[in-house]
A and B are shown apart, each in its own frame.
Chain A
Amino acid sequence: MVTQIIPMRFYGFDTMIYLIGAIICLLIAYKATKLHSYTGKKQHFYLAAAFTIMGISLATLTLTTAYTYYNMFYLGNSIYFFDQFFNMDDLGFWVYYLGAFVAYGLLVLMYTPELGKSGKFAPFIFAPTVLFSAHYFEYFNIVLFLMMAYVAFRASVNYFMKKSRPALLVAAGFVLLAAYHAIMPFAAFDKTLYVVAHGAHITGYASLLLMLLSTDKK
């Protein structure tokens, strides 16, 4: 159960972080959809689709964690599926991780337009192996870290070429999202790291929001 690695006092704060992340993702998705409607470029479609999926995934996680905490603290029970090891919280995390997996894959595709038709499936080659993984939580975070690290690297290269503030904010946002996934597997050893990881998570989305605001007022 994921709730075993969450510090007691942090319950609810993570839900707020997911909610803020979802709103920011959907705002970026709206702008990217507008961009795609102008250009019709595939890369812009990938950008819009990636943030739409991320927004929906985070919104789902917001609802499931809120429901879980409400049941645990106010009603004193947990909502289980199948057995006592898979509850509503796990369901939310599965939706979030699968959504993030597809979204990050689309961002990888956006940064590698040179990939051919068959190459489009390259970012998703790890997908079937999750079925054989006993610890989905650690597995997903490692894979998602690798994918986001590549996206962050490409965004950083873009910043060093352009040296613009919005490009810096995008690169910083992706680096922080990669840091979130890098730290999360270690939360099982120290609950403080769960808080640190979520700090990186919300700061990453805040950076993307600042980019959105700075490009919108010009």
Chain B
Amino acid sequence: MKFQIEEKREDLGERRSQLQIYADILRLIQKRGGLVKPTHILYGANLSHARLTKHLSWLLGKNFIIEDLSSGHKMYRLTPKGKAFIDEFKKIEEFSDAFGVPV
């Protein structure tokens, strides 16, 4: 898996890697109880609609999230695999930061 593309984080003026964006989206879903509407992700993750669609389809493809239509609306649910990714990412991010090399 390679995630070389970087995007601008507008609020902080920093650049975050694609990997960080995936982790941010998953953390956002986790923070909101593991089930969210797409609009909540859109505002929370600070992404354009086009980019969000692209990222969500990648996360769906990896089974980190699944679509949930039980409430009548399209919502996204965090899977155990997605939760495991968040935990693993936190560890590697901490390890990388310890050496001063961003993820």
* Number of B residues with CB within 8 Å of any CB on chain A: 19
**Chain A interface bracket (under 10, 10 to 19, 20 to 34, 35 or more):** 20 to 34
CB-CB under 8 A for A41 and B90, given A31-B95, A166-B95: no
CB-CB under 8 A for A38 and B99, given A215-B91, A218-B91: no
Residues of chain A within 8 A (CB-CB) of B92 are 31, 34-35, 38
Evaluate contact between B101 and A47: CB separation under 8 angstroms. yes
A31 to B101, CA, bound (A): 14
Chain A residue with minimal CB distance to B98? A166
A169 to B95, CA, bound (A): 11
A153-170 interface with B by 8 A CB criterion: 154-155, 157-158, 161-162, 164, 166-167, 169-170
Residues of chain B within 8 A (CB-CB) of A37 are 1
A-B contact count (CB 8 A): 70
CB-CB under 8 A for A215 and B94, given A110-B101, A157-B100: yes
A212 to B95, CA, bound (A): 7
Residues 71-103 of chain B, each 1 if its beta carbon lies under 8 Å from chain A, else 0 = 000000000000000000111101111111101
In the complex, what's the smallest C-beta–C-beta distance from B86 to chain A, in angstroms?
Answer: 12
A186-218 interface with B by 8 A CB criterion: 211-212, 215-216, 218
Evaluate contact between B96 and A211: CB separation under 8 angstroms. no
Asked if A11 is an interface residue, CB under 8 A from chain B, the answer is no
Evaluate contact between A215 and B98: CB separation under 8 angstroms. yes
A161 to B3, CA, bound (A): 26
Partner of A44, one of B91, B94, B98, B101: B101
Which residues does A use to contact B, with CB under 8 Å?
31-32, 34-35, 37-41, 43-44, 47, 110-111, 154-155, 157-158, 161-162, 164, 166-167, 169-170, 211-212, 215-216, 218
A to B CB contacts below 8 Å, 27 in the list? A34-B92, A35-B92, A35-B103, A38-B89, A38-B103, A39-B2, A39-B3, A39-B19, A39-B103, A41-B4, A44-B96, A47-B101, A110-B99, A111-B100, A154-B100, A155-B99, A155-B100, A158-B100, A164-B97, A166-B94, A166-B97, A167-B97, A167-B100, A169-B98, A170-B100, A216-B91, A218-B90
